[in-house]
C-alpha cells in the first residue's frame, strides 16, 4: 500500500511533506519541514494497520527516543494523525553505506567507519538496547563523513526480547545475522558484534564471509551456523594479521568466544590504527630502499574494492528471489514474510538433522517447511525444499543400506516435483544435485 501524502500536505499541523525519499515493507519515509522549529526532518509513516506491526513501530520510536548519540539518527517526535502513525527523525543529508562508492576505500577508512558503528552500539547497549539489524543499508554516511546508525525498527530492550521474538521468526538481513538467530535464539550484544564482524569482513575483502551468489538463502543460513569463513588474509593478503584475528573472533559461532562488548573491540581496532600510524611514520624516515623493504609495507595497502552492490543483487538467481518476494506491503504479505522466514529456518534445521543422521526429525522439519511454503509465492525455495527432502531420503538409504520402496518412491516424487522449477529458474547447482540423486534412485529401483 502506498501512502497518499502529497507534497505540501501537513501532519499534526506541524510537519510539511516535501517529497518521498524511501519505501519499505512496513513504512515510507519522506523529507519534511518542521514548521515550528524551521528545520528539515525525516518523516517515517507506517503503511500497515495490524496490531503487531503497530506495536513494533511504537517500540521502534520508544527505543530510538532513548538514544542521544552523534552516531545514531535522532528521534524528535512520534504520533498519530489522519489515521497514520508516524515518527519524526533527524534528517541526514548523505547516502547509506550500501549506496556509497567504496572502490577507493582505504583500510583506515574501513576502520574509522567500523569504530563509529561500534561507538553507537556501545552507547545503545549501555541503555539496554540492541539493534539486531546492522547492515550497510542501515548505516548513513552524512555529507560531512559522519556515520549514523538508523532503523532501530528491529531493536529490542534486552529484558523484553524473550517475550517479543516469535518462534521461527528471522528478522533482518540473512547475510548479516549471527548463527544463534537461525537457531531460534533472540541474541544479545554479541549478536550485534557478529553483524559488525560480517560488515568489517566485507569492507576489507570486498565479499561477504558467506556470499549469497547462488541466491540460496538456506545455504547461507546453514553456513553461518556450521561453516568457518575463509580467513580474510586468504582473500586479501594485505590485511594485517592482527586485524584478521579480530574479524575471526567476531565471527566465532559461540557468542561467548566473541568480544564481550563494543568497548573492548574499539580498543583493539584503535590499537591496529596506532600500529599502522607508527609504521607509516617509520617509513617516512627510512634511508635506503633496503630499509624500506624491511618495513611493513603491507600495512600501507588499501583494501580491496569493498562491498559490491547489495548482496541481494549479485546474481541472476538472486534476482529471481527478489522478484518473488518484492512488494510485501500489505498485511497479508507482511505476515507471509514471517512465515517464509520460519520456513527457511525449518529447512536449515532439516539439513542439520540430516547431517546428524536424525532422519525422522529431518523429515519432520522438511514437511513443516513445505506446508509453510506451499501457499506462498516462493517457487524457487519450495522447489529447493522438495529437492532437499528427496536428497535426504537418498542420504538415508546410503547411510543405512536399506532402500524402503515407500522412501524410494517419495524421494523420486519430490525430486521430479523440484526439477521443472529448478530448470525454469536456471538453478544449475541444484539441478545437478537433484539429477544425481534421481540417477542413484534408478540404480536402487532396478537393483
Q: Which three cell numbers stand for residue 386?
A: 522438495
Q: Say whether pLDDT at 264 is over 50.
A: yes
Site of grid cell 567500523: 114
Longest dimension (CA), the chain: 83
**Helix, strand, or coil (residue 392):** helix
Q: In which band, very low, low, confident or very high, does the pLDDT at 79 lie, cut at 50, 70 and 90? A: confident
CA 439 to chain centre: 37
Q: Which three cell numbers stand for residue 82?
A: 489522519
Supply the pLDDT for residue 327. Answer: 44
Answer yes or no: is pLDDT of 310 > 50.
no
pLDDT at residue 2, as a whole number: 59
Q: Is residue 76 pLDDT above 80, yes or no?
A: yes
Residues in CB range of 388: below 8 A, 6 or more apart:
218, 347, 350, 351, 366
Question: What is the per-residue pLDDT for 283?
Answer: 60
Predicted local confidence at residue 306, as pLDDT: 33
Please check the confidence at residue 200 and state whether its pLDDT lies above 90. yes
30 DSSP assignment: E
DSSP string for 219-263: HHHHHHHHPPPPPHHHH-TTS-HHHHHHHHHHT-SSGGGS-SSHH
**H helices present in 132-240, as ranges:** 161-164, 179-182, 189-205, 217-226, 232-235
Q: What is the mean pLDDT of residues 220-241?
A: 93
Q: Which residue has the higher pLDDT, 368 or 5?
A: 368
pTM of the entire structure?
0.80
Residue indicated by cell numbers 600501507: 300
Q: What is the DSSP letter of 297?
A: G
Residue 288 has pLDDT above 60, yes or no: no
**What structural domains and CATH numbers belong to the chain?**
10-90 (3.30.200.20), 94-311 (1.10.510.10), 330-446 (1.25.40.10)
Catalytic residue among 34, 133, 160, 333: 133
Residue 156: which H helix or E strand, with range?
strand 156-157
Catalytic annotation present for 133: yes
Contact 363, 409 (CB under 8 A): no
Which residue in the block uniquely carries the three cell numbers 522449477?
421
* Mean pLDDT taken over the chain: 82
Euclidean distance between CA atoms 29 and 39, whole angstroms = 16
Amino acid at each position: 500500500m502506498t501512502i497518499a501524502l502529497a507534497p505540501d500536505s501537513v501532519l499534526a499541523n506541524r510537519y510539511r511533506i516535501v517529497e518521498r525519499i524511501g519505501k519499505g515493507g512496513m513504512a515510507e519515509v519522506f523529507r519534511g519541514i518542521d514548521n515550528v522549529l524551521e528545520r528539515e526532518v525525516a518523516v517515517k509513516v507506517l503503511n500497515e494497520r495490524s496490531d503487531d506491526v503497530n506495536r513494533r513501530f511504537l517500540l521502534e520510536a520508544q527505543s530510538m527516543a532513548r538514544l542521544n548519540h552523534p552516531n545514531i539518527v535522532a528521534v524528535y517526535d512520534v504520533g498519530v494523525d489522519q489515521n497514520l502513525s508516524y515518527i519524526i527523525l533527524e534528517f541526514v543529508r548523505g547516502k547509506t553505506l550500501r549506496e556509497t562508492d567504496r572502490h577507493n576505500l582505504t583500510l583506515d577508512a574501513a576502520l574509522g567507519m567500523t569504530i563509529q558503528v561500534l561507538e553507537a552500539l556501545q552507547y545503545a547497549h549501555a541503555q539496554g538496547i540492541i539493534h539486531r539489524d546492522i547492515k550497510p543499508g542501515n548505516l548513513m554516511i552524512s555529507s560531512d563523513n559522519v556515520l549514523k546508525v538508523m532503523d532501530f525498527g528491529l531493536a529490542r530492550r534486552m529484558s523484553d526480547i524473550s517475550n517479543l521474538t516469535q518462534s521461527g521468526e528471522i528478522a533482518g538481513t540473512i547475510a548479516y545475522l549471527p548463527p544463534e538467530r537461525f537457531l531460534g535464539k533472540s541474541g544479545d550484544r554479541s549478536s550485534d558484534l557478529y553483524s559488525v564482524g560480517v560488515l568489517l569482513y566485507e569492507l576489507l575483502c570486498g565479499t561477504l564471509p558467506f556470499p549469497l551468489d547462488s541466491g540460496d538463502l538456506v545455504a547461507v543460513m546453514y553456513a553461518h551456523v556450521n561453516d568457518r569463513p575463509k580467513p580474510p588474509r586468504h582473500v586479501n593478503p594485505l590485511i594485517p594479521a592482527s586485524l584478521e584475528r579480530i574479524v575471526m573472533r567476531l565471527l566465532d559461532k559461540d557468542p561467548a568466544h566473541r568480544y564481550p562488548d563494543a568497548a573492548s573491540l574499539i580498543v583493539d581496532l584503535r590499537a591496529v590504527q596506532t600500529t599502522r600510524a607508527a609504521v607509516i611514520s617509520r617509513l617516512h624516515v627510512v634511508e635506503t630502499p633496503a630499509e624500506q623493504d624491511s618495513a611493513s609495507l603491507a600495512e600501507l595497502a588499501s583494501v580491496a574494492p569493498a562491498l559490491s552492490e547489495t548482496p541481494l543483487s549479485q546474481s541472476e538467481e538472486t534476482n529471481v528471489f527478489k522478484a518473488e518476494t518484492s512488494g510485501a506491503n500489505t498485511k497479508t504479505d507482511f505476515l507471509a514474510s514471517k512465515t517464509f522466514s520460519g520456513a527457511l529456518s525449518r529447512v536449515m534445521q532439516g539439513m542439520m538433522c540430516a547431517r546428524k543422521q536424525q532422519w525422522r526429525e529431518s523429515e519432520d522439519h522438511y514437511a513443516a517447511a513445505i506446508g509453510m511454503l506451499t501457499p506462498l509465492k516462493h517457487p524457487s525455495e519450495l522447489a529447493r525444499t522438495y529437492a532437499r527432502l528427496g536428497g535426504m531420503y537418498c542420504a538415508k538409504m546410503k547411510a543405512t543400506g536399506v532402500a524402503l520402496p515407500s522412501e524410494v518412491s517419495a524421494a523420486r516424487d519430490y525430486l521430479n516435483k523440484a526439477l521443472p522449477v529448478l530448470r525454469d529458474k536456471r538453478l544449475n547447482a541444484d539441478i545437478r544435485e537433484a539429477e544425481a540423486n534421481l540417477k542413484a534412485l534408478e540404480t536402487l529401483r532396478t537393483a
